[in-house]
Amino acid sequence: MKNKSKGKKIATMFLQGGLVIGFVGGLFVYTEKQIEPVTVYQFNRDIAPNTQISASDLTKVQVPKKAVTEGISLTSNDIVGKYNSTKVFKSEYVMKANLVKKENIDPFESIDLTKLRKISIPVTYAEGLGGNIKKGDRIDLVYVGKESKNDKDFSYSKTFMKDVLIYATTTAEGFEYKDRTQNVKGDVGDLEGQDIGAGEDTGELAQLTLAVTLDQAEEITARLQTGEIRIVGRFNDSQNYDSSGYIQGDFEKVFSGEGLAENNK
């Protein structure tokens, strides 16, 4: 009986020793993995918003795996060629959320807003390029007027403003309008890293808010009172050029231009 009891004690000691060794070994492996160095990237200079990132802008650094968060970009292929959406500083880690494609950059992050103002114009879903429009896009504005002068009725259209920046797109309820034209109904699309149901109804496009100068705001306001303003979409490679306008009917010349509208003397 004594020999059996002694044998059990010895077996128990070996088992406990094995468990301790296993625990210590597992802890060692876990710790080693946590402190294992991982390559991440930092910016080697201060960079303004909307700048295309090149390999020369980056520096490789080694950090413990435990210090790497999910938002840090780990491969240069995901960085080079993209644009930074905000100002970044030297030695700052490259974060995925701050990297965008060229078509998704926000031009308002890098332009001088000192002399710009905001003005909204109404637009229907069809007139708004079928909803294929978003903040940062550039458009042209066409005026459509109807005139009756000296028993002559006519209508005309004229492009009066080009390369106008869109500041915001909103629905009739005042919510931000989301462009869903690149999605297929029923699918789940990805917009800047955020999952969005393609079939989700965010409301139809109802107005555009434009970034314009005061002179342009005055002209847009006057034209809205006397006719309609339609928008024309531009391609990435579109260039400005002049057009004569189009007239329908028996017409007479119409004055349109700057003038001293009010005089306080």
Domain match, 131 and 188 both: yes
For residue 28, tell me if it sits in a domain.
no
Residues 234 and 148 placed together within one structural domain of the fold: yes
User: Residue 169: inside a domain, yes or no?
Assistant: yes
* pLDDT score of 115 more than 50: yes
DSSP state, residue 162:
E
In a domain, 2, yes or no: no
Residue 254 covered by a domain: no
Return the pLDDT at 89.
94
Spatial separation of the C-alpha atoms in residues 190 and 104, rounded to whole Å = 13
Residues 6+ apart with CB under 8 A from 129: 231, 233
Other CB atoms closer than 10 Å to residue 46's CB: what's the count?
A: 11
User: Do 236 and 132 share a structural domain?
Assistant: yes
151/66 same-domain check:
no
pLDDT mean over 225-244: 95
For the chain, percent of residues with pLDDT exceeding 90: 53
Q: Say yes or no: 232 and 116 in one domain.
A: yes
pLDDT given for residue 21 in this prediction:
60
Across residues 108-134, what is the average pLDDT? 94
Phi/psi-derived region of residue 198, left when phi > 0, alpha when psi is between -120 and 50, beta in every other case: alpha
Q: Which amino acid does the sequence have at 252?
A: E
Query: What domain count does the chain have?
Result: 2
Provide the b/e sequence for 90-115 (b: ≥16 CB within 10 Å). eeebbeeebbbeeeebebeeeeeeee
Mean of all residue pLDDT scores within the chain = 83
CATH code, domain carrying 74? 3.90.1210.10
Above 90 in pLDDT, residue 35?
A: no
Main-chain phi, psi angles of 134, to 5 degrees: -155, 170
Least confident of 4-8, 52-56, 237-241: 4-8
Let me know whether 101 and 132 are in one domain. Answer: no
* High-pLDDT (> 70) share of the chain, %: 80
Rounded distance, CA 94 to CA 72, Å? 6
Give domain status of residue 64, yes or no: yes
79 located within any domain: yes
Residue ranges making up the domain that contains 48: 37-107
Longest Cα–Cα distance in the chain: 129
Quick one: average pLDDT of 190-196? Answer: 47
Q: Answer whether 113's CB lies under 8 Å from 201's CB.
A: no
Looking at 107, 128, 151, the residue that finishes a domain is 107
* Alpha carbon distance 189, 73 (integer Å): 22
